[in-house]
């Protein structure tokens, strides 16, 4: 397979649900059950990024949109990746399952006997809703859908031969064939892409978001590398240093990501110097924080009532 680049119209990013779980996890804001769900979300996202790496390297003639959530007839459906080729659409559902599983008729189970949701049924449902979505908007386009098991440590026993279920051992051959069979669509799908971008939703209406309060969360600056607290100590380069892994990060970077974190968790809160000082637990001086807020945001009002947008 020759190396190349793929055009991504809609890049992949962490979902609001995953972001919130990640921020709460680093601030001791998750129960044990919520921590397990967070690991499930993280693992799914990792699997999707692995597929993106394959697509970015080998599927040079396809356009991609990622993480598309749409609604059709009051039913929501999400596509991990949607590829556009001259011969039609290619929908990919990425699973990062690990371990041994088996099929017994329509039932999918772990080898210890625990039944899971049938991922192939989920794929069929999503395909049917996408087809209805397209036809209702006057798009008569061929759809090929695939269930991709990306983790090399996944095994499925007693599986019938279903062409659009791609097991880890089949993945390289599948990608090779897909590369040979697809061609650049040019501008054929421009109108459809505009339609999808205008109608896509940002998150499921009933996302599983934990309950949390500001007062219950640990404050401070959390290291991006290892998740430990960063020392309230600024070195000569104007950086904070992690107390565990010694990673250094600039004050500007820390302030910006701390603002992002606070806005994701508490969108109703105004961004103020004192508010960020409290959120960072005094890791930086108020004037240091204020300089970065003035530099990177627009200040509204003056004095103690000022805030930044």
Domain residue ranges of the chain, discontinuous segments joined by +: 7-199, 219-308
Structure tokens of 245? Answer: 């892994």
What's the confidence (pLDDT) of residue 272?
96
For residue 70, pLDDT over 50 is answered with yes
Return d(Cα 181, Cα 121) in angstroms, integer.
26
What's the confidence (pLDDT) of residue 43?
97
pLDDT confidence of 6, banded at 50, 70, 90? Answer: low
Instruction: Give the tens place of pLDDT for each residue, 101-122.
Output: 999 999 999 999 999 999 999 9
pTM of the model: 0.89
How many CA atoms within 13 Å lie on the side-chain side of 299? Answer: 14
Give the mean pLDDT of 43-56: 96
Per the DSSP assignment, residues forming a β-bridge with 250 are 239
Instruction: Give the tens place of pLDDT for each residue, 249-308.
Output: 999 999 999 999 999 999 999 999 999 999 999 989 999 999 999 999 999 987 778 999
What b/e readout covers 15-32, taking b as 16+ CB neighbours within 10 angstroms? Answer: bebbbbbbbbbbbebbee
Return d(Cα 245, Cα 230) in angstroms, integer.
9
What's the confidence (pLDDT) of residue 188?
94
Per the DSSP assignment, residues forming a β-bridge with 239 are 250
Return d(Cα 40, Cα 18) in angstroms, integer.
10
pLDDT confidence of 243, banded at 50, 70, 90? Answer: confident
Mean pLDDT of the chain: 92
pLDDT confidence of 2, banded at 50, 70, 90? Answer: very low
Instruction: Give the tens place of pLDDT for each residue, 125-159.
Output: 999 999 999 999 999 999 999 999 999 999 999 98
Please check whether residue 197 is in contact with residue 82, taking contact to mean a CB–CB distance below 8 angstroms. no
Return d(Cα 159, Cα 83) in angstroms, integer.
26
Count Cβ atoms below 10 Å from residue 271 Cβ, excluding itself. 19
Give the mean pLDDT of 228-252: 81
For residue 235, pLDDT over 70 is answered with no
Return d(Cα 202, Cα 200) in angstroms, integer.
7
What's the confidence (pLDDT) of residue 1?
37
């Amino acid at each position: 397979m020759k190396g190349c680049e793929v055009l991504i119209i809609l890049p992949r990013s962490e979902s609001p649900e995953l972001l919130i779980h990640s921020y709460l996890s680093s601030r001791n804001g998750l129960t044990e059950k919520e921590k397990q769900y967070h690991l499930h979300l993280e693992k799914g996202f990792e699997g999707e990024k692995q597929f993106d790496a394959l697509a970015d390297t080998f599927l040079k003639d396809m356009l991609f949109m990622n993480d598309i959530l749409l609604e059709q007839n009051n039913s929501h459906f999400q596509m991990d990746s949607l590829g556009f080729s001259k011969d039609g659409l290619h929908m990919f559902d990425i699973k990062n399952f690990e371990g041994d599983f088996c099929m017994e008729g329509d039932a999918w189970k772990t080898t210890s006997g625990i039944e899971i949701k049938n991922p192939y049924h989920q794929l069929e449902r999503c395909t049917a809703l996408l087809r209805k979505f397209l036809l209702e908007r006057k798009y008569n386009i061929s759809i090929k859908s695939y269930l991709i098991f990306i983790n090399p440590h996944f095994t499925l026993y007693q599986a019938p031969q279903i062409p659009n279920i791609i097991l880890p051992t089949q993945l390289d051959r599948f990608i090779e064939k897909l590369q040979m069979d697809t061609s650049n669509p040019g501008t054929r799908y421009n109108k459809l892409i505009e339609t999808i971008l205008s109608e896509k939703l940002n998150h499921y209406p009933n996302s599983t978001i934990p309950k949390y309060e500001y007062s219950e969360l640990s404050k401070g600056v959390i290291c991006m590398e290892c998740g430990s607290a960063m020392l309230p100590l600024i070195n000569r380069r104007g950086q904070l240093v992690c107390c565990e892994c010694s990673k250094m990060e600039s004050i500007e970077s820390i302030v910006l990501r701390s603002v992002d974190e606070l806005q994701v968790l508490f969108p109703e809160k105004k961004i103020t110097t004192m508010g960020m000082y409290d959120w960072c637990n005094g890791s930086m001086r108020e004037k240091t924080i204020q300089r970065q807020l003035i530099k990177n945001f627009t200040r509204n009002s003056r004095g103690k009532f000022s805030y930044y947008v």
